[in-house]
Amino acid sequence: MTHENHALFTIFGATGDLAKRKLYPSLFRLHRKKMIHSHFAVIGTARSDWSNDRFRKVVAESLQDLNPTEQELNEFVEHFYYQPLNVTNTEEYISLQQLADELDQKYQLNGNRIFYLAMAPQFFGIISKHIQSENIISKDGFNRLIIEKPFGVDHESATQLNNEISAVFSEEQIFRIDHYLGKEMIQNIAAVRFGNNIFESLWNYKYIDNIQITLAESLGVEERGGYYDQSGALKDMVQNHILQIVALLAMEPPTVFSDEAIRTEKINALKAVRIFDTKEVNENFVRGQYGTGLTNKKGVPAYRSENGVKPDSVTETFVAGKFLIDNFRWTGVPFYVRTGKNMAEKGTRINIVFKSTPINIFRSVDEPICNTKKLPENILTIYIQPTEGFSLTLNGKKIGNGFDIDPTKLMFRQSVENLENTPEAYEKLLSDCLKGDATNFTHWSEVEQSWKIVDVIRHVWDQTPIDFPNYSSGSMGPQSAFDLLEKDGRQWVWCPFKK
């Protein structure tokens, strides 16, 4: 039997794209599953002067892809209320407080309140301050704050932002969303590692040669050119999504599978990531910006021609690099990462490349060991999106005469039916927040350390001239990304096209 959660959701930025595309459909899925049903309410706030009816109509329109019945839709949207709000206007917060108390009594919410800041980070501090000063925080139930990335633009701004919200909410009440942590296969990393002794016993420098993480997008910046030109791939993807994946792959086994224990080990892993000096940044990280080309067989413009982008922009749309982790488990094992826009293929995957057997015994009798070609590596691949699953490459004998080795891939992919029934990332994260489970959210210490790692790279790049564009749309990035591995005697496992 599904347990129903009692809670009031207050969404700041309720008229925005995130709320319409992700939050309302995710709340509806929770309602459909009876995880929220009779005892919940949603207050939407924004500057627009909407009525409850208009707000409910917008919410209903956002759910059409989920094919709700008329009864389902009516039962759901009647729990939604709208309150116009200028975030600097104290009187409007007083009205918000009165509506919150009224709904708490009407729906028997037990004082449980979740505040979702689906707005630009510069408003986080002032909203948090008014939530406290106007007594919108409940004194009876739980109070939880959900905030979206970007959490600052560097370590200094992130620290200031954290100080502002921490003046009102404790760390245990703050849920920093990284939607990648809500994806099924990201959560499956822990299951693969800690649920299978065959892998956990080999999960160290003795057996793993390198780890590769690729987050590739086949689209450009589209309508986000103005925002993206102020951010770039390093801040938009590496500082949060990629370093979170690195932490999950590199962390030590937790003593118990709890949010606190997992967070502790992730923080320790991030603190072990080497912070490079200028020379090391130049040796281990490269950047790119897409030019014209073909994606999905269609011609696309260069980044500098996109709406909202400066015609001489040096913002990177691609990053590739090598992280090193200075602890006993991972000494000498490179974590290669790359992410980019307008690439050859959309996909997120992790390749764990195991070391080859030290001697190839399948050489000819007359062939010296020193001249023997290495056997292909065993590779464990975790597919995250658009497909979900695993593959393991093993060496077997090729059919026929002789003893030639033929790599064989053991593959598991989730069925279309299972994928359709998999909870969407935001649905999972909202469910976790309702339960008070912070496992798949980021702790301030993780955010802080990630910015320390990335800030050094950003500073070096800001001081170094670059000639852009340097890769064609529809490719897998600039030549320098391939050179990065080739100089180590390695190559990218996933390579839809060679260059």
Q: Point out the residues that are catalytic.
A: 241
Secondary element (H or E) of residue 474? none
Distance CA 79, CA 88 (A): 26
Contacts of 194 (CB under 8 A, 6+ apart): 200, 253, 257
Q: Which of 323, 353, 319 is nearest to 336 (CA)?
A: 323
Cα–Cα dist 269/243, whole Å = 10
Q: Which helix (H) or strand (E) segment is 238 a member of?
A: none
SS3 of residue 41 by DSSP: strand
Backbone angles phi, psi at 368, to 5 degrees: -65, 145
Residue 472 and residue 293 in contact, taking contact as beta carbons nearer than 8 Å: yes
User: Of 463, 459, 438, 445, which Cα lies nearest the Cα of 158?
Assistant: 445
Which residues on neighbouring strands pair with residue 41, listed in sequence order? 8
Residue type (1 letter), 292 = T
Residue 76 exposed, middle or buried by CB count within 10 Å (0-12, 13-18, 19+) = buried
CB 16 within 8 A of CB 123: no
The interaxial angle of helices 425-435 and 24-32, nearest 10 deg, is: 70
Q: At what angle do helices 259-272 and 243-250 cross, to 10 degrees?
A: 100
Task: Name the residue among 132, 133, 134 with its Cα closest to residue 173.
Answer: 132
> Are 30 and 134 contacting, i.e. CB atoms less than 8 angstroms apart?
no
In this structure, are strands 113-117 and 7-12 parallel, antiparallel, or unpaired? parallel
